[in-house]
Structure 1
Amino acid sequence: MKQYNVLVVGGAGYIGSHMVKFLLDGGSGVVTLDDLSKGHRDLVCGGKFYEGSMDDQALLDKIFSENMINAVMHFAAYSLVGESVIDPLKYYKNNLYGTLELIRGMIRNGVKNFIFSSTAAVYGEPVETPITEEHPPRPTNPYGATKIAVERMLRDCDTAYGFKYVSLRYFNAAGADESGKIGERHEPESHLIPLILKAALGERENISIFGTDYPTPDGTCIRDYIHVNDLARAHSLALEALFAGQPSAVYNLGNSKGYSVREVIDVAGKITGLPIPVVESERRPGDPAVLIAGSDKIKQDLGWKPQREDLETMISTAWEWHKQGKY
């Protein structure tokens, strides 16, 4: 990995903190900006840290003037789908306006290399599986709508200002760094694997399966999971591509295969050796039966491929983190 000076916005969160560690381990200089509304200061493994908002222009000018930043990675979006439906303006203010202000500060300070954390939620209900980047964006919630709006803004900034970017559309991030020093910590927690592990630890009464009558082999939803460190490596390769002069691009990030809810629960039970109480519930509105990424484009363009694609590795690394009780 080549060495850069990178500002990681949202670097105290789950994926951002793994990105900070990945960059530091590779010898890059890292500056983290996080308002700690969702992130956790103790997850930032090193580098310089600034507490504040990405829409604070004075703070951005201070960061860029004090550090020789040549690229920015953005992980500071709000990401709860249900909350975005209940309070859409919160999401438009942070995810869209906040990103606009961040980009404005970058351009003013002559920094024009940007890696954006996007989402598979831009696609909405899939019309084909696996989902490729050519799938029409039809978000079904404000969270996904803010992400595709940012992507369109990025495209226009490229045309107008020569602002170069790579947008990475994640499917389901999972796992934790193998060191056990950092992992997934959300408040409240909404992701399947940590919820299952909390049930195994007795911190939840059970885990709910929402729908058992989907047209899948075991009747439960199938999702594409990707290890968080495979995500981090993809960001690093995307940054290298920008510095090598490659054009702005949009890529899916997933394993291109899926696991059902029951499979995830079963594997977690084997890894933990603990009982995991399950409650079967009705389907949730808007949950597609199958969501699987088509990630051929990033494999072909950047040479990326997942190195921790088996479910056992994802869950076992998450378990090493969760059983320490640091979350």
Structure 2
Amino acid sequence: MLDDAEGGGAPEVLDGIPTSTPSIHHHYTDIIQTWPHPSNDSVATPRNPPLIPSVPEPSPTRRLPASLLPRGNSSAADPVYEEDDISSLGHAELDQHRELREMLAALHRPADDHTLHRGPLRWRYTTYMGEQHPAANKVVVTFKPADITALTDAQRQTFLKLVGVRYNPVSGLVKMSCESFPSQAQNKRYLASTIRALIAESQDPNADSFADLPLDTRHVKVKPRPRFPERWLVTEERRRELDEKVKKGVMEEAERVEGNRVVSGILAIEAARQAEVEKLEEPVLPRATAPLERGKVGRREVGQLWGSNRW
């Protein structure tokens, strides 16, 4: 209902909403007229404006970028999303790696002795391709004590005793890890400081060298793995020797049996079986029993016992 508001009368009212100026009325009318229609059947009117604007249907011919299509098929439609792909942050990081790889290709140079030489410490990091994970801050360092040239043999033994269970005598590596700090840089710095402190303690002449204590390696459990003997391997020559040996044994056994130099087990089995068959063929006579007298018969006559066996 739209009333005139001139001369101090009632304010303009549009669908229960008071308007103080004509501009608001025209603005509201323009919004209603330009509101998208949800369908052809329903028509938006000032009394019944649509609550949700219509969303255009996706085009059935929409294609993926060439970088995301399967190899060998550049015109395939959208694949079914199986929820097994990495996140969008992970794809962004992969794209960054692809861009940097092309830029770093210009700095490529042949490897020499200086570039191949690396320090004794080997660092390992873990990334989850843009996703937040508690294990992403963990840093692991491995090194061989023999590569630390600043230590003598006696100091190296002291260093191994200070390291303790982190030393593996089978592989000869020391493995240490840290995830106590919220960033990888802090964990790496802590590990580097710990290794420097261990080396300084091993080189300190005033500190205890633990020379009277043996190196404890009880924490390493080596499971014995028996190896298959090479002399047991069946080669072509070994196979021919085994076949000839088997044939020779069969021929010798046949000669002994034919010459009656050994009792044949087959003949003994056949003789015993024939005796059992003849025994089963003999007739079995039925047991003759005297007929019982008529009338009352006691328990003794029918073969019952007194005591536990009662009627």
TM-score, reference length from structure 1:
0.15
| Larger Rg belongs to | 2
Greater relative contact order (Cα 8 A, min sep 6): structure 1 or 2? 1
TM-score, reference length from structure 2:
0.16
Higher strand share: 1
